[in-house]
Amino acid sequence: MDYQLLEVENGKPIKMWTQDVPVEDEARKQLIDTARMPFIYRHLAVMPDVHLGKGSTIGSVIPTQGAIIPAAVGVDIGCGMMAACTTLLATDLPDNLQALRTAIERAVPHGRTMGRGRRDEGSWDTPPASVDAMWAGLIEGFTRITDRHPCLKNTNNHKHLGTLGTGNHFIEVCLDEADRVWFMLHSGSRGVGNAIGSHFIKLAQKDMQQHISHLPNRDLAYFEEGSQHFNEYVEAVGWAQDFARRNRLLMMQNVIAATRGVIAKPFGASVEAVNCHHNYVQRETHFGAEVLVTRKGAVSAQKGELGIIPGSMGAKSFIVRGLGNKESFCSCSHGAGRTMSRNEARRRFTVADQERATAHVECRKDADVIDEIPMAYKDIDAVMHAQRELVDVVHTLRQVVCVKG
């Protein structure tokens, strides 16, 4: 076996691809709670970047039949990665990369500013024509959802399309083993996806009000298949996942355009591109049965399928090809995985630590990004070794520019 087996009393077993990587006790308990839900199909699959999450454990693959857990998908619905390989080489980049980082920061709204009378710099003031055109393909589905759930109408939706966000979301310029230039970015369904996730988590808890005390955790409240809210959630989460994919596509287009404004040499950026979710749910067939597969911080790794596994800020990242490992429900990790909370990272590290850890990267080096310091994450090499039966590495990327929200 290339995984560790954890038997669960009164539940399904847990198969963990975590050899030589740390797994916190709180994450194990959370996994065991989920494995005891009566509709889990066969077993849980746990990726090497596993760590404690809200609702369900990040880095877990949760197959279900007859029910769906909104908190397992979470509120960053459709969060994922996109990468594009260009025809540029490292020698085509300017010696000083600050101008390139600044151009990307201008082209893609990022971060968040809140306050009475203040515009959020992380959203568009007036969305450009490209955003309007992309939103036109989403408005019909959004209208159907908000007709049933009016509270979702006045959310950040149109003005968040094509924007980065905060936290661990990023845009990077990377070099591969042949010194080719890649663009890579990480984001999801932004404010509207958060609103959809939060709304349906509360609905599930309300629907189960009489039985919620019997659950291991109230965040494991679920919708039964065939119920009204089950069907409405499936439609809403599918729409949010589509929003997230389009959001990444728009950002990538703007990153490429911004780079062309800095680098005079003509280049192509359609040599190879990957766009994959790692917080989502979809119907799939496994072991001959149709199941709902929720990947909470995990990437689909069907045989031959390309995916992205980013390291922490300042570490390596990987373009991978899935091996179609059936026991993992054809999945792999979505990154390195945190070893400590954001608050703990801020307590433990300083700006000087951040500067040393990211000395080779053109990026912000201030107190607001200490929580993303590489030392707050697991060793990406250990994570990749633990999942060597899940994916093959196609390209190894190293960051030279990083834009954080």
pLDDT at residue 272 above 70?
Answer: no
Instruction: Tell me: is residue 312 an annotated ligand-binding position.
Output: yes
To the question of whether residue 10 is assigned a binding role by annotation, the answer is no
Report in angstroms the alpha-carbon separations of 150 from 139, 143, 145, 153, 195. Answer: 14, 9, 8, 5, 12
334 belongs to an annotated ligand binding site: yes
Residue 336 marked as a ligand binder: yes
Contact call for residues 229 and 140 (beta carbons, < 8 A): no
- Over 80: is that where the pLDDT of 276 sits? yes
* Closest C-alpha among 405, 395, 313, 312 to residue 361: 313
Q: What is the pLDDT of residue 264?
A: 94
Least confident of 237-246, 265-274, 393-402: 265-274
Segment 193-226, tens digit of pLDDT: 999 999 999 999 999 988 888 888 899 999 999 9
In the prediction, which pLDDT does 143 show?
Answer: 98
pLDDT-above-90 percentage for the chain: 88
pLDDT of 136: 98
The residues carrying an active-site annotation are 334
What integer is the mean pLDDT of 254-270?
Answer: 95
Using alpha carbons, select from 179, 160, 157, 158 the residue that is nearest to residue 169.
160
Asked whether the predicted pLDDT for residue 162 surpasses 70, the reply is: yes
DSSP assignment of 102-142, as one string?
A: HHHHHHS--S---STT---TTS-SS--HHHHHHHHTTHHHH
The pLDDT, as a whole number, for residue 119 is 77
Nearest to 365 by CA among 352, 377, 374, 349: 352
Q: What is the mean pLDDT of the chain?
A: 94
Q: How many Å apart are CA 340 and CA 344, to the nearest integer?
A: 6
Give tens-digit pLDDT for 340-385: 999 999 999 999 999 999 999 999 999 989 999 999 999 999 999 9
Q: Is the pLDDT of residue 97 over 70?
A: yes
Q: Where are the domains of the chain?
A: 4-339+377-404
Q: Could you tell me where the beta strands, DSSP code E, fall in 301-366?
A: 306-309, 316-322, 331-333
Place of tokens 């839900």: 37
Determine the longest span between alpha carbons in the chain, in angstroms. Answer: 65
Task: Say whether pLDDT at 114 is over 80.
Answer: no
Yes or no: say if 122 and 111 are a contact pair by the CB < 8 Å rule: yes
Assigned CATH for 4-339+377-404: 3.90.1860.10
Is 278 a known ligand-binding residue? yes
